[in-house]
Amino acid sequence: MSNLNKDTAELTIDGKVFTLPVVEGSMGERALDISKLLQETGYITLDTGYKNTGSCVSTITYLDGNKGILRYRGYDIEDLAANCSFVEVAYLLLHGRLPNEIELESFKGLIERFALIHEDMIHFFDHFPSHTSPMSILSVMVNSLCHYYPEMSDDPLDDFEVTSTRLISKIRTIAAFSYKKSMGHPLVYPRSDLSYCGNFLNMMFDKPVKPYVVRPEVVAALNKLLILHADHEQNCSTSTVRLVGSAGVNLYAAISTGINALWGPLHGGANEAVIEMLETIYADDCNFEKYINKAKDKNDPFRLSGFGHRVYRTYDPRGKIIKKACDEILNVLEISDPLLDLAHTLEEIVLRDEYFIERHLFPNVDFYSGIIYRALGIPTNMFTVMFALGRLPGWIAQWKEMREDPSTRIGRPRQVYAGETARKFVPLDERS
């Protein structure tokens, strides 16, 4: 943090001037500190959807939506995606710096050690209806972990190393087991000789009748996707984790709510929605015009999934990397997916269209990621689970930052009440 109290701003209400401190971040962004506004002026601020509200001061992720910059702990996302493993990036997010070789080995060792889930939890999978969304299963299972691994109940930060690696490791096992159960296939247990991503792929796709061959290119593609999803400052699910966490719940409970928030089609669920949308357009003779017009029609709830973002006013930097990775992996695997051609054409049309240009709507992280997941053999209903696997270290790092910050209070927004004024109570037998 460079300077937290550089300047002040003045606010005039009913002719009276109030002074607001200006908070400046290390990259020069400036914010008005309104924390004493109500006390001093009797006013609150109103900002539905928090379009203009900073909820915390954070040192984890920086993004510039106008320039298309995204950095974790100061490192450009392009460098991390090109050079790191997902586990290395998870360490970076959690600890604030890249690990040296010894630290990385020890961190990996913990992840490896915690890969199994308690055998009793495996019975849970048998009792979900067969059509249950894997996101719902993931959220329930993660929430339940606190009963099997309750160390965090007293001082969560004491057990942070163990609990965070346990969660990062087990979420992957839970995700793969839920897929195997949904397919009616025998479970494949984690192996200590495989990398984080290799292990996940093996647990997903290995079968007694057909052993899975872990291909380095596939591992590399998955690794990249997880890194690109690992954090994105105060988005909907992360803010949910922080808000719920501010009430003092255990880490597992807080992460479970983040998974639920991510599930939404306007958030992480968009990667699934993109594929469904592309399939619909494909089945409709590639009638792009029809769907673009639907997206522009204010009376039609349809939106082009995978386009637009609350903070980016330019191409999502993650989207750029994923688009390139998508072309590469399909090439390596010699897969010709008509949805990829369709996505390229749709993107070209959208980027030329006045409606989208005026509103700064560009492809976001979800537009091409689903096509890569399809190429890796991951079913559409698991796409958002993949997003959750990637986002987990970010959620944990944000939760930790919130818990360590002595200024943290329980999150409790205000409102402007616009309902009925005081009414006289009418007993039931006198109501018309």
Chain residues that interact with ligand ACO, rule: CB under 6 A = 266-268, 270, 295, 303-310, 359, 361, 364-366
Strands across the sheet containing 75-76: 61-64, 69-72, 75-76
User: For residues 181 and 229, which CB has a smaller minimum distance to ligand ACO in the complex?
Assistant: 229
Q: Side chain identity at 361, as an amino acid letter?
A: L
Note whether 395 and 138 are within 8 A (CB). Answer: no
Report the nearest approach of ligand ACO to the CB of residue 355 (Å).
7
Note whether 404 and 157 are within 8 A (CB). Answer: yes
In the chain, how long is the greatest CA-to-CA distance?
A: 80
User: For residues 112 and 316, which CB has a smaller minimum distance to ligand ACO in the complex?
Assistant: 316
- 54, 59, 64, 70 alpha-carbon torsion, rounded to 10°: -140
User: For residues 200 and 312, which CB has a smaller minimum distance to ligand ACO in the complex?
Assistant: 312
284 is catalytic: no
Note whether 44 and 414 are within 8 A (CB). Answer: yes
Measured distance CA(18)–CA(178) in Å, rounded: 56
185 is catalytic: no
User: For residues 188 and 385, which CB has a smaller minimum distance to ligand ACO in the complex?
Assistant: 385
Catalytic residue from among 229, 232, 267, 309 = 309
Report the nearest approach of ligand ACO to the CB of residue 366 (Å).
5
Closest chain position to ligand ACO (CB) = 308
Exposure string of 278-292, with b = 16+ CB inside 10 Å and e = fewer, is beebeeeebebeebb
Report the nearest approach of ligand ACO to the CB of residue 304 (Å).
4
Report the nearest approach of ligand ACO to the CB of residue 421 (Å).
32
Catalytic residue from among 120, 366, 405, 429 = 366
| Residue position matching structure tokens 């040296």 | 100
User: For residues 163 and 237, which CB has a smaller minimum distance to ligand ACO in the complex?
Assistant: 237
Report the nearest approach of ligand ACO to the CB of residue 46 (Å).
16
Q: Which residues are catalytic?
A: 309, 366
